[in-house]
């Protein structure tokens, strides 16, 4: 029959495309897959075909559709030998969809969940190392987002009343929520600096209390990072705090 021929051609195109890394061939294969996938649903060839179909979307970079098709594949063929690859590629599709850190991170969270689901199911899987790498990269992205938002409150502290206080609260939350983050030292530094800036821009009546608050944050930094890279700039601020406290 006609569909059989199409099946053979499509599979051949797919294999060639994969070999040659040729997008036009993937596109041609996709056209044929789109036509024959519904016809083979429920038939023995359907399993292989569904996987190739989903993978073609993946290879073409259409990650919205590849994540959806891999998901369908997982549900339709829970016993397939390709299940592991499908689970990883579904997660990897969401990884690809994850936008830069300062935009909405819904897809990033989804990707982390899917990568984690993959690692739970296939702890020693073929893609386990890669999945861990991707998940770490995405977690750092979320940390960067939270860090940059908190830092922006610090940056705009002089322009908008209440922003230094907002920065302190945000960095507090940040240090609690992401204890292993690469931005942790910076967060401790900026939390101190926000308190310091807030204090020296305060009315005299509030200054003493706030300067003392800044000192506790200084100590919090020094305790964790006795050789920290911000130490010299912080020491200068601390000196200023001490003089101000004496002159109050």
Partner 1 sequence: TQAQDLPISDGEKYILGEIKVTGNVSYNEQTVIAYTGLKKGEEIYIPGDKLSNVLKKLWKLDLFSDINFYLTNVENGVADLELEIQEVPKLSKVRIQGLKKREQEELLEENKLREGAKVTENLITTTKNYIESKFRKEGYFNANVKINTTPVQDTTDTKSNLVNMVVDVDKGDRVKIDDIDFAGNENFSDAKLKRSMKNTKQKNLFRFWKRSKFVRADYQEDKQSIIDKYKETGYRDARIVSDSLIKKDDESITLNLKVEEGDQYYIGDIEFLGNSVYSDDQLQRVLGINKGDIYNGVLLDKRIMDQSRPDAQDLSNLYKNNGYLFSNIDLVETNVYNDTIDFEIRIMEGKEAYFNEIRVTGNDKTKDHVIYRELRTKPGQKYSQEDVVSTVRELGQLGFFDAEQLEPNFVDPNPQTGTLDLEYSVVEAGASQIELQGGYGGGGFIGTLGLSFNNFALSGLFDKEAYKPLPMGDGQSLSLRAQASTFYQTYSLSFMEPWLGGKKPVSLQTSFSFTRQFLFDYLTRRADKSRSFDILGVNVGLAKRLTVPDPYITVSHAIGFQRYNLNNYNTGLFTFGDGHSNNLSYTFGLTRDNTYVNPIFPTGGSKFKLTAKLTPPYSLWNDVDYANLGEQREFQLEDENGNLIDLNGGRVTPENAVPDQGKIDQEKFNWLEFYKVKFSGEWFTQIYDKLVLRTFAEYGFLGAYNNDRGVPPFERFFLGGDGLGAFSLDGRETVQLRGYPNQSVVPIDRPTGSTDDGATIFNKYSLELRYPITLKPSASIYALTFLEAGASYDNFRDYNPFQLNRSAGAGLRIFMPAFGLLGIDFGYGFDPIVGSPGANGWETHFIIGQQF
Residue ranges that bind partner 1, judged by CB under 8 A: 42, 99, 102-104, 106, 145, 148-149, 152-153, 155-156, 158-160, 162-163, 165-166, 168-170, 173
Q: How far is the CB of 194 from partner 1 (least distance, A)?
A: 11
**Is 83 or 97 the residue whose CB approaches partner 1 more closely?**
97
Cα gap 69→54, rounded to integer Å:
5
**Is 6 or 145 the residue whose CB approaches partner 1 more closely?**
145
Cα gap 160→164, rounded to integer Å:
9
Q: How far is the CB of 170 from partner 1 (least distance, A)?
A: 5
Cα gap 16→229, rounded to integer Å:
53
**Is 117 or 149 the residue whose CB approaches partner 1 more closely?**
149
Considering Cα of 152, then 155, then 159, then 161, what sign does the dihedral take? positive
**Is 112 or 131 the residue whose CB approaches partner 1 more closely?**
112
Mapping DSSP to helix (H, G, I), strand (E, B) and coil, where does residue 136 land? helix
Structure tokens at 179: 């204890």
DSSP at 62: -
- For the chain, the straight-line distance linking the first and the last C-alpha, in angstroms and rounded, comes to 94
Cα gap 150→92, rounded to integer Å:
29
Structure tokens at 93: 């599709």
Nearest CA to 83 among 125, 30, 45, 53?
125
Q: How far is the CB of 156 from partner 1 (least distance, A)?
A: 6
**Is 100 or 223 the residue whose CB approaches partner 1 more closely?**
100
Q: How far is the CB of 118 from partner 1 (least distance, A)?
A: 25
Residues in the chain: 248
Instruction: For the beta carbon of residue 4, count every other beta carbon within 10 angstroms.
Output: 11
Q: How far is the CB of 242 from partner 1 (least distance, A)?
A: 26
**Is 126 or 162 the residue whose CB approaches partner 1 more closely?**
162
Q: How far is the CB of 204 from partner 1 (least distance, A)?
A: 17
């Amino acid at each position: 029959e006609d569909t059989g021929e199409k099946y053979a051609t499509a599979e051949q195109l797919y294999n060639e495309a994969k070999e040659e890394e040729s997008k036009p061939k993937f596109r041609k294969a996709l056209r044929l897959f789109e036509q024959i996938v519904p016809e083979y649903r429920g038939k023995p060839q359907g399993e292989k075909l569904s996987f190739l179909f989903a993978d073609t979307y993946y290879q073409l970079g259409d990650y919205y559709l590849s994540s959806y098709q891999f998901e369908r594949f997982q549900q339709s063929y829970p016993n397939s030998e390709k299940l592991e690859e499908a689970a990883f590629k579904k997660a990897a599709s969401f990884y690809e969809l994850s936008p830069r850190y300062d935009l909405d991170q819904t897809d990033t969270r989804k990707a982390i969940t899917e990568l984690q689901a993959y690692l739970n199911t296939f702890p020693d899987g073929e893609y386990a190392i890669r999945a861990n790498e991707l998940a770490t990269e995405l977690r750092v992205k979320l940390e960067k987002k939270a860090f940059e938002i908190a830092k922006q409150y610090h940056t705009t502290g002089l322009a908008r009343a209440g922003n230094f206080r907002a920065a302190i609260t945000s960095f507090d939350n940040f240090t609690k929520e992401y204890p292993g983050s690469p931005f942790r030292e910076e967060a401790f530094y900026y939390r101190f600096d926000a308190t310091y800036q807030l204090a020296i821009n305060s009315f005299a009546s509030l200054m003493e209390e706030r300067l003392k608050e800044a000192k506790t944050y200084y100590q919090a930094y020094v305790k964790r990072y006795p050789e920290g890279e911000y130490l010299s700039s912080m020491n200068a601020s601390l000196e200023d705090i001490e003089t101000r406290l004496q002159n109050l």
